[in-house]
Structure 1
Amino acid sequence: MAKPDPVIITCAVTGGIHTPSMSPHLPITPDEIVADALGAAEAGASILHLHARNPEDGRPDQTVEGFMRFLPRLKQATNAVINLTSGGSPHMKLEERVKPAAQLKPEVASLNMGSMNFGLFPLIERYPDLKYDWERTHFEATRDVVFRNTFKDIEYILTSCSANGTRFEFECYDISHLYNLAHFVDRGLVKPPFFVQSVFGILGGIGTHPEDVAHMKRTADRLFGSDYRWSVLGAGSAQLRIVAQAAAMGGNVRVGLEDSLWAGRGRLATSSAEQVRLARKIIEGLGLEVASPDEARRMLALKGGADVGF
């Protein structure tokens, strides 16, 4: 029997959803982002998915300058694969969202595969005492926001970044997003092996039921066969349950404080590394191995850390 491939753990350390008032452990400043990312890499994450933040109030910052406050330090300190967001936040324009990945030429960039309602407004009831005015606006505005990712937008990001040798983490929040990806595969704009990140638990996307996870995997297998690598992320309390199910199904996993602030019922995670260690325990408990950064590069056919633009 062939030995299974090791499991890639991606860690998303801060994101553009959670806000400073929700957890004192959410990395905001460049120093905090570097420390959290390096801790995650040491714990076993082979890919670090990164957003930037305004260090004064924690709001999402999609400027190249924001990313350059920490990217050179991470490149020097770790061999982990660097993955930059092109999603930013639902409130940003396309050109703003793609600029860091287009200019800084990372090994991997995220790419949302369809427009969707992206409902964060229920969080207002759970967090009534918000420290910054922008946080309430950030949540409340999603009652009437469509996170735009049209076919034209997706093609623009693909063509803007592909010439740099950047490959993509294709973020699929629903079944239709898999079919959108298949469209670009059929057109020859996406080449295998490609990395499909199935996202579960965002209001407006697919849910977190085990049948939702299985349905995503069945559909991707039917559309893409052996041309893709499957990974999952579960939002909030579903994070580790979905990690366990996907790992048992032969998938890769993503954790980190972007996706969940928790490390068990009612207990805030003190770092992304804590979640990586919990995911690693599940993976190794299944008799599987965790991928090193260079193994992840081989599995995803990445260009290598020497060829990035930072």
Structure 2
Amino acid sequence: MRAPLSKIFITCAVTGNLTRPEQTPHLPITPDQIAESALAAAEAGAAIVHLHVRDPKTGRPSMELDLYSEVVARVRARNPQLIINLTTGPGGRFVPSDADPKLAAPGTTLMAPERRVEHIALLKPDICTLDLNTMNSGGEVVINTPANVRRMARVINDAGAKAEIELFDSGDIALLGDLLNDGTLKGPALTSFVMGVRYGFQPSPETVLYARNLLPSDAAFTAIGFGRVSFQTVALSYLAGGHVRVGLEDAIYLDHGVLARSNAAMVEKARRIVEDLGGQIANPREARAMLGLSKRAVDAKRVA
């Protein structure tokens, strides 16, 4: 049985793909807002920021390279040690047409694997997510076949990024084992249990322990809970021997009926939970050492 780690890192998921601007006025939308929110989360105690981008005009999720480039440049210019974790999740969703299910209906984002990791090749983040799930998601389907995952992993490896493996159900952990065994991924693995997506892992202490016990013994993990269980999952993950994640991607409330005014406020609460349970929070330099990431030199490129 794993005991709680002596020191853990906090990841802040700053804006995400699914939280809608109409749900909360505090969601960062523009590159400047996303970068500022990430930097404030770091000041509050986050060692890692998990970043998506959005269309500044509509607030809708985006995959535009220029938006990723601007956010990353702004963060690196002001806090070069902060660990940047970019998403590669968008581009795997399929919505079947009612008339002919083999044809895509509106809402489909399915695209070539290499297109989903173009920004990783360009920007070379410290970490990027790699989803292993092929599953029903609401009324739609997410498709990440083993072959496509391997194609994405090649680009990630060539960019020098560490993959954070997002696991949505136990079969994903079996695929992780295959990817480690054939050398597609190098251990020790960095993983996360995504809990609360309909038809995937559901949030509970039993789920966290079950998933943890399926991992290789040297794997690091973070249990992620969505919505009302976000802060409960901070405690569950820490007590099970994992790291923690919070942010406006995962939840919009700080307390019952109280909207979180910022990502920093969510990080502050997560930090209090861990420290009240006896844990200590790693800063970015310590988290880099824990994950075997290189120290980042100060980026001379400044953002006006």
TM-score bin, normalised by smaller chain = 0.7 to 0.9
1:183-202 to structure 2, matched below 5 A, reads 183-202=178-197
Q: Which residue of 1 aligns with 2:97?
A: none
Q: Which residue of 2 aligns with 1:165?
A: 160
Contact 1:15 1:258 in 2 (8 A): yes
Contact 2:220 2:242 in 1 (8 A): yes
Q: Which residue of 1 aligns with 2:116?
A: 97
Q: Which residue of 2 aligns with 1:83?
A: 85
Secondary structure at the aligned position of 1:15 is classed as: coil
Q: State how far apart, in whole Å, the 1-side matches of 2:48 and 2:127 are.
A: 9
Q: Assess, with a 3 A threshold, how the Cα gap between structure 1 residues 13 and 103 changes in structure 2: closer, same or farther.
A: same
Contact 1:13 1:49 in 2 (8 A): yes
Q: State how far apart, in whole Å, the 2-side matches of 1:154 and 1:56 are.
A: 32
Contact 1:41 1:80 in 2 (8 A): yes
2:141 equivalent among 141, 146, 158: 146
Q: Which residue of 1 aligns with 2:101?
A: none
**In the TM superposition, what is the alpha-carbon distance from 1:98 to its structure 2 partner?**
1.4
1:297 equivalent among 279, 288, 291: 288
* Amino acid paired to 1:261: I
Is 1:181 aligned to residue 182 of structure 2? Answer: no
Count matched residues: 281
Q: State how far apart, in whole Å, the 1-side matches of 2:206 and 2:51 are.
A: 30
**In the TM superposition, what is the alpha-carbon distance from 1:60 to its structure 2 partner?**
0.9
* Identity across matched positions, percent: 37
TM-score norm. by structure 1 comes to: 0.86
1:257-272 to structure 2, matched below 5 A, reads 257-272=248-263
Q: Assess, with a 3 A threshold, how the Cα gap between structure 1 residues 306 and 162 changes in structure 2: closer, same or farther.
A: farther
1:67-146 to structure 2, matched below 5 A, reads 67-78=68-79, 79-88=81-90, 90=93, 91-92=108-109, 93=111, 94-119=113-138, 143=139, 145-146=140-141
Contact 2:14 2:247 in 1 (8 A): yes
Contact 1:63 1:99 in 2 (8 A): no
Gaps of 5+ in 1: 120-142
**In the TM superposition, what is the alpha-carbon distance from 1:157 to its structure 2 partner?**
0.9
The CA deviation string for residues 8-49 of structure 1, in whole angstroms up to 9 with x for no partner, is 101110011111111111110112111211110000000010
**In the TM superposition, what is the alpha-carbon distance from 1:117 to its structure 2 partner?**
1.6
Q: Assess, with a 3 A threshold, how the Cα gap between structure 1 residues 85 and 307 changes in structure 2: closer, same or farther.
A: farther
Contact 1:49 1:84 in 2 (8 A): yes
* Amino acid paired to 1:99: E
Contact 1:107 1:304 in 2 (8 A): no
**In the TM superposition, what is the alpha-carbon distance from 1:287 to its structure 2 partner?**
1.3
Secondary structure at the aligned position of 2:49 is classed as: strand
**Which structure shows the bigger proportion of residues in strand conformation?**
2
**In the TM superposition, what is the alpha-carbon distance from 1:193 to its structure 2 partner?**
2.0
**Which structure shows the bigger proportion of residues in helix conformation?**
1
TM-score norm. by structure 2 comes to: 0.88
Q: Which residue of 1 aligns with 2:48?
A: 47
Secondary structure at the aligned position of 1:263 is classed as: strand
Q: Which residue of 1 aligns with 2:217?
A: 225
* Amino acid paired to 2:278: G
Secondary structure at the aligned position of 1:70 is classed as: helix
* Amino acid paired to 2:129: S
Q: Assess, with a 3 A threshold, how the Cα gap between structure 1 residues 155 and 307 changes in structure 2: closer, same or farther.
A: farther
Q: State how far apart, in whole Å, the 2-side matches of 1:17 and 1:161 are.
A: 24
Q: Which residue of 2 aligns with 1:38?
A: 39
Contact 2:24 2:252 in 1 (8 A): yes
Contact 2:14 2:248 in 1 (8 A): yes
Q: State how far apart, in whole Å, the 1-side matches of 2:153 and 2:295 are.
A: 19
Q: Assess, with a 3 A threshold, how the Cα gap between structure 1 residues 215 and 81 changes in structure 2: closer, same or farther.
A: same
Q: State how far apart, in whole Å, the 2-side matches of 1:13 and 1:176 are.
A: 28
Q: Which residue of 2 aligns with 1:279?
A: 270
**In the TM superposition, what is the alpha-carbon distance from 1:175 to its structure 2 partner?**
1.0
Secondary structure at the aligned position of 2:261 is classed as: coil
**In the TM superposition, what is the alpha-carbon distance from 1:4 to its structure 2 partner?**
4.1
Gaps of 5+ in 2: 94-107
Q: State how far apart, in whole Å, the 2-side matches of 1:161 and 1:210 are.
A: 32
1:210-221 to structure 2, matched below 5 A, reads 210-220=205-215
